[in-house]
Structure 1
Amino acid sequence: MLRELSTIKPRRLRADAARNRERVLEAAKIVLGAGGPDASLEAVAREAGVGIGTLYRHFPTREALFEAVYRREVEQLVEFAGQMADNPAPVVALRRWLHASVEFVATKKGMVAALAIVASGSTELAVYSSERLTGAVGGLMNRGIAAGDLRDDVSPGDVLRMLVALCYGSDAPGWQENVLRLLDVFVDGLCRVPGSAAA
Structure 2
Amino acid sequence: MTAAKPLRADAQRNRQALISKAREIFDAGDFDLRFDDFARLAGVGIGTLYRHFPTREALAEAVYHGEIAALCDRARQLQATLPAEKALATFLRGMVSHMDAHQGLARTFATLMATRSDALAEGSQALEQTVTDLVAAAVRNGSVRDDVGAGAVMMALHGIGAARDRPGWRAQADGVITLLLDGLRRPSSGERESEDVSTSS
Residues 166-193 of structure 1: per-residue CA shift (max 9 Å, x gap): 2322414552343124312321221125
Maintained 8 Å contact 2:61/2:120: no
Distance 1:124 1:40 in 2: 24
Contact 2:64 2:120 in 1 (8 A): no
Find the counterpart in structure 2 of residue 40 from structure 1.
Answer: 34
1:137 is displaced (CA, Å) by 0.4
Q: Which moves more between the two structures, 111-120 or 180-189? A: 111-120
CA distance in 1, matches of 2:171, 2:11: 38
1:142 maps to 136
Large movers: runs of 4+ above 6 Å: none
Taking only the aligned residue pairs, the percentage that are identical comes to 36
**Whole-Å Cα distance in 1 between the matches of residues 97 and 18 of structure 2?**
20
CA change 1:115–1:140 in 2 (3 A) is closer
How well do the aligned residues superpose, as a CA RMSD in angstroms? 2.7
Unaligned runs of 5+ in 1: 1-10, 195-199
- In the alignment, structure 1 residue 25 sits paired with structure 2 residue 14: no
Confirm or deny: 8 A CA contact 1:81 1:97 kept in the other structure.
Answer: yes
Aligned partner of residue 39 in structure 1, secondary structure? coil
Partner of 1:71: 65
Matched-pair contact (CA < 8 Å) for 1:91–1:149: yes
Instruction: Determine if the alignment matches structure 1 residue 14 to structure 2 residue 14.
Output: no
Equivalent positions of 1:84-99 (< 5 A) are 84-99=78-93
Change (3 A) 1:59 1:169: same
Runs of 5+ in structure 2 lacking a partner?
Answer: 1-5, 189-201
CA distances 1:69-103 after superposition (whole Å, capped 9, x unpaired): 11221121112111122033111111121123224
Q: 1:151 Cα deviation (Å)?
A: 0.8
Asked if structure 1 preserves the Cα contact closer than 8 Å seen for 2:153 and 2:180, the reply is: no
